[in-house]
Amino acid sequence: MDRIPLPERPDWRAKAAELGFTFADMHGEPYWDETSAYSFTLDEVEGRIEDPCTELHAMCREAVGTVLADESLMDRMGLPRLRWDFIKDSWEAGEPEVYGRFDLAYDGKGPAKLLEYNADTPTSLYESASFQWLWYEDQLAARVLPEGSDQFNRLHEALVERFAEIFPPDTDLHFAAMAGAPEDYATVETMAWAAREAGMGAHYTDLEKIGISEEGQFTDSEDRVIGTLFKLYPWEDLFADEFSAHLASAQCRFIEPPWKALLSNKAILPVLWQLFPGHPNLLPSFFADDTKGLADAAHLMLGGHVTKPIFSREGASVTITAQGRVLERATNREYDRHPMIVQAYQPLPVMGGMRPVIGAWVVGETCVGMGLREDRALITQDLSRFKPHFIEG
């Protein structure tokens, strides 16, 4: 793994504007940044990222079964007891998953370590699947990147295949995001493009405009009944919303399925560590109130520890502590009221003054691609930059 300065495509801003990639700059800072790119060897991609992440997903599926069979673990997930059956039913019915993104700390030397699994509402899909791919093809054509190089990015094709695999042709799918968040909308539309390419009907509705019909089914902004809903909105928030009582009875299939609420949840990290202690891709993790477990694991936490709320987005309410001193504390504390977990601190590598996190994408049950974000700060937050990558020839 290396971080290599490269010439930018002279016309990339015009291309981004033309394609509707309106958030290539965000909060007055560049978000898409191709002044440099991360390079990997093929062995590294396959042996350190791809295969381990496919395995991690299989381990996560096993953990879902474990949690659902154990009330004390279900209790740890912070989800309303009224919805437990709904979650369990979706798992027992084998409702298929579509996508997720593992965030990994990887320094090019040791094994990649799982920081968390964005298994329910991962974003940056457009940047990863589409704009990053275009960057590679353009740079290959411009001979900035050599023949024989490649990119680990089968994301789009894999999504098309996945939709075709789990839905009959011409199934009508609804796609919903909260209004007014272009970065969320881009992920939803990228997903919809893939569904359409797979032969599905794709319809958009703002999440806030979803209604409920007399028969108790969800309806879109034009009063059409929603049979299948892709919702870029976290399960734990759906469960807290006014319509949550209708979720189980609305005869609606959801993507991601309800059981993903257990995996996007950081409470799954201590469960994984219990099930697979010492696994090379896992960091020692414990529930924050598990004083005995933490005391016994003190020797695993000598490099410091990170406290994270079980529900959190974009690094909010995360605190990193080492040698009894707070190294960094996220300024956004919106998730402070949630239960916490403690994870051994795995510093991100520093490359060109930046700290990259690898986002490894899982479609279905297989790792199919990656995208990187880098931040100056120790905690990767919403001001991080998206970076393209390539595989050396």
Stretch near other proteins under the rule CB under 8 A, chosen from 56-64, 91-99, 211-219, 251-259: 211-219
Question: Which element (helix H / strand E) includes 358?
Answer: strand 355-363
Between CA 156 and CA 192 the distance in angstroms is 11
Cβ 268 vs Cβ 63: under 8 Å: yes
Q: Which of 58, 82, 209, 251 binds other proteins (CB under 8 A)?
A: 209
CB of 231 to other proteins, least distance (A): 8
The set of long-range contacts for 62-71, using a CB threshold of 8 Å and a minimum separation of 24, is: 62/275, 63/262, 63/263, 63/268, 63/271, 63/272, 63/275, 64/91, 64/259, 64/262, 64/263, 65/91, 66/271, 66/275, 67/262, 67/268, 67/271, 68/259, 68/262
Q: Which of 33, 189, 256, 375 binds other proteins (CB under 8 A)?
A: 189
Stretch near other proteins under the rule CB under 8 A, chosen from 72-80, 87-95, 227-235, 322-330: 227-235
Bridge pairing between strands 218-219 and 113-118 = unpaired
CB of 20 to other proteins, least distance (A): 4
Kindly identify the residues of this chain, within the stretch 323-382, that bind other proteins according to CB under 8 A. Answer: 334-335, 369, 382
Q: Which of 39, 90, 151, 343 binds other proteins (CB under 8 A)?
A: 151
How many of the chain's residues bind other proteins (CB under 8 A)?
A: 80
CB of 280 to other proteins, least distance (A): 23
Three-class SS state of 219 = strand
Q: Which of 130, 281, 343, 384 binds other proteins (CB under 8 A)?
A: 130
With b meaning 16 or more CB within 10 Å and e meaning fewer, what string describes 6-27? beebeebeeebeeeebebbebe
Kindly identify the residues of this chain, within the stretch 253-292, that bind other proteins according to CB under 8 A. Answer: 264
Answer yes or no whether residue 45 interacts with other proteins by CB under 8 A.
Answer: yes
Kindly identify the residues of this chain, within the stretch 91-120, that bind other proteins according to CB under 8 A. Answer: 118, 120
Of the CA atoms within 13 Å of residue 67, those in its CB half-sphere come to 32
Q: Which of 112, 316, 344, 360 binds other proteins (CB under 8 A)?
A: 316
CB of 201 to other proteins, least distance (A): 8
Question: Of 301 and 374, which CB lies nearer to other proteins in the complex structure?
Answer: 374
Between CA 302 and CA 19 the distance in angstroms is 48
Between CA 21 and CA 182 the distance in angstroms is 9
Q: Which of 147, 214, 298, 324 binds other proteins (CB under 8 A)?
A: 214
Stretch near other proteins under the rule CB under 8 A, chosen from 1-9, 58-66, 195-203, 271-279: 195-203
Between CA 344 and CA 322 the distance in angstroms is 10
Cβ 366 vs Cβ 54: under 8 Å: yes
Q: Which of 104, 194, 271, 282 binds other proteins (CB under 8 A)?
A: 194
Answer yes or no whether residue 178 interacts with other proteins by CB under 8 A.
Answer: yes
Question: Of 34 and 184, which CB lies nearer to other proteins in the complex structure?
Answer: 184
Q: Which of 156, 253, 308, 355 binds other proteins (CB under 8 A)?
A: 156
